[in-house]
């Protein structure tokens, strides 16, 4: 770019095409996915204990939903702090320490000495596991060039549904045979193993020199300033993405929390059969994130696809409610898989948008804020959705959830924003 003239889109694409992806990036991505999946296994394990607590032990559904939300509440408390730590100290030790602490709290929760104590320890475990949410996204954005980030973040975003799928397959039979302790021991063992693997394998990505950042920070009014200036003061792009993601997480957590208990208590399926359907929905959702991320690289837009995901979410939740109301169980189960896939398709797009707009010196905090908004909603959703289902039933409750992606559709920004493009201008 000579004389400050912005590069043409064709030139930008040719530059991106010549950028190579470091070999180390793929190892970082693999470890980031596994670390995030381990954290997701812990966070979603309580949701698959709801049949044990509600059906077998007679706990009210709203109370069981409250216990299932405690890890999400813990994440809300810690996400921004972990993100700031990642900005300051790097990703390696943040991820490793978070997973180790998660394992400790889960092992302490395994004896199940009272539901209050269980809720406290699950809250602490959720707070510790937030380290992977805040830092693993930074690893992806830091190691991969822009024209590969959508695909890489899509692969990274496979982690939550994969962790959820493992929980759906393993937790119900373990809980049925051995009570609360066995699922906790499983989650603790997995997180401890991944903590050790991340200490060994993760390396912090290269970042722009802070010397340049400090000099540019002296002129924070310049839109393209490179450095630690607050990106939230630039415009409302990040705030809008955060709000959109908070709305789109409603169908995701409504389905991941209550799909299994709907299939078992609502439709009368056995736990194994229902677990297979839920696990299949999570696995297909994981693949869907990769496809959406790849498309965002090819089409050159994150927010454009995000808008279409919101529309698809409205259609799927309404269809799921109608099929459940009609008691077409087979079609309803199939639509559950489709709706679950759509409900998680936005995450990689939004995360990539946030990281690209925030830049390398703010992405940890920005991703922490992004996750905080999502998990505030998720924490409230467990008891609220349980109460709504008790009042109106599963089909109508699922149909009403369609209002969230409908609202999100109107808030999605019209164009993408990239820290690198602002820095070149």
pLDDT tens-place string over residues 87-121: 788 788 889 999 999 999 999 988 867 788 888 99
Rounded to 10 degrees, the C-alpha dihedral 216/220/222/226 comes to 40
For residue 407, pLDDT over 90 is answered with yes
Least confident stretch, 67-76, 95-104, 206-215: 206-215
Looking at per-residue pLDDT, the higher value among 51 and 3 belongs to 51
All structural domains of the chain: 23-208+232-424 (1.20.1250.20)
What is residue 207's predicted lDDT score, i.e. its pLDDT?
Answer: 63
pLDDT at 159: 81
pLDDT of residue 318 exceeding 90, the answer is yes
d(CA 164, CA 61) in angstroms, rounded, equals 20
Q: How confident is the model at residue 423 (pLDDT cuts 50, 70, 90)?
A: low
Average pLDDT over residues 217-243: 67
Tokens of 131: 């380290």
Q: pTM value?
A: 0.69
Q: What mean pLDDT comes out for the span 173-188?
A: 86
State the average pLDDT for the chain: 81
Q: What is the pLDDT of residues 341-359, one digit of tens each?
A: 899 888 888 888 888 888 7
Q: Return the minimum-mean-pLDDT range out of 73-77, 141-145, 162-166.
A: 141-145
User: Which residue shows structure tokens 């979410």?
Assistant: 313
pLDDT confidence band for 2 (50 / 70 / 90): very low
Q: Say yes or no to pLDDT of 406 above 80.
A: yes
């Amino acid at each position: 770019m000579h004389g400050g003239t912005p590069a043409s889109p064709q030139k930008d694409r040719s530059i991106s095409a010549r950028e190579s992806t470091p070999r180390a990036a793929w190892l970082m991505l693999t470890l980031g996915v596994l670390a995030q999946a381990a954290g997701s296994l812990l966070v979603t394990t309580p949701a698959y204990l709801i049949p044990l607590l509600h059906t077998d032990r007679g706990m009210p559904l709203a109370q069981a939903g409250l216990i299932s939300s405690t890890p999400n509440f813990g994440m809300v408390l810690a996400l921004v702090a972990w993100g700031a730590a990642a900005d300051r100290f790097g990703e390696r030790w943040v991820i490793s320490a978070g997973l180790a602490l998660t394992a400790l709290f889960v092992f302490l929760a395994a004896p199940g000495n009272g539901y209050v104590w269980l809720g406290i320890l699950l809250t602490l475990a959720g707070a510790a596991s937030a380290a992977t949410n805040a830092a693993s996204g930074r690893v992806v954005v830091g190691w991969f060039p822009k024209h590969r980030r959508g695909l890489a973040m899509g692969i990274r975003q496979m982690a939550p549904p994969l962790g959820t799928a493992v929980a759906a397959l393993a937790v119900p039979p373990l809980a049925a045979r051995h009570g609360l302790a066995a699922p906790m021991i499983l989650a603790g063992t997995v997180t401890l193993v991944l903590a050790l693997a991340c200490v060994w394998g993760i390396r912090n990505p290269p970042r722009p020199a802070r010397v340049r950042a400090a000099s540019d920070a002296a002129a924070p009014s310049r839109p393209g300033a490179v450095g630690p200036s607050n990106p939230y003061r630039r415009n409302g792009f990040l705030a809008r993405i955060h709000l959109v993601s908070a709305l789109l997480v409603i169908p995701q957590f409504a389905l991941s929390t209550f799909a299994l208990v709907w299939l078992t208590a609502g439709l009368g399926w056995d736990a194994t059969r229902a677990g297979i359907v839920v696990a299949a929905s999570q696995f297909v959702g994981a693949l869907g994130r990769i496809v959406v991320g790849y498309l965002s690289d090819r089409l050159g837009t994150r927010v454009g696809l995000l808008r279409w995901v919101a529309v698809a979410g409205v259609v799927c939740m309404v269809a799921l409610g109608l099929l459940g109301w009609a008691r077409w169980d087979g079609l309803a189960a199939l639509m559950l898989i489709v709706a679950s896939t759509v409900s998680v398709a936005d995450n990689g797009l939004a995360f990539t948008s946030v990281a690209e707009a925030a830049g390398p010196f703010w992405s940890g905090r920005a991703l922490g804020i992004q996750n905080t908004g999502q998990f505030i909603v998720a924490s409230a959703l467990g008891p609220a959705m349980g109460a709504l289902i008790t009042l109106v039933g599963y089909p109508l409750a699922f149909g009403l959830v369609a209002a969230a992606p409908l609202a999100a559709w109107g808030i999605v920004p019209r164009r993408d924003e990239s820290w690198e493009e602002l820095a070149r201008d």
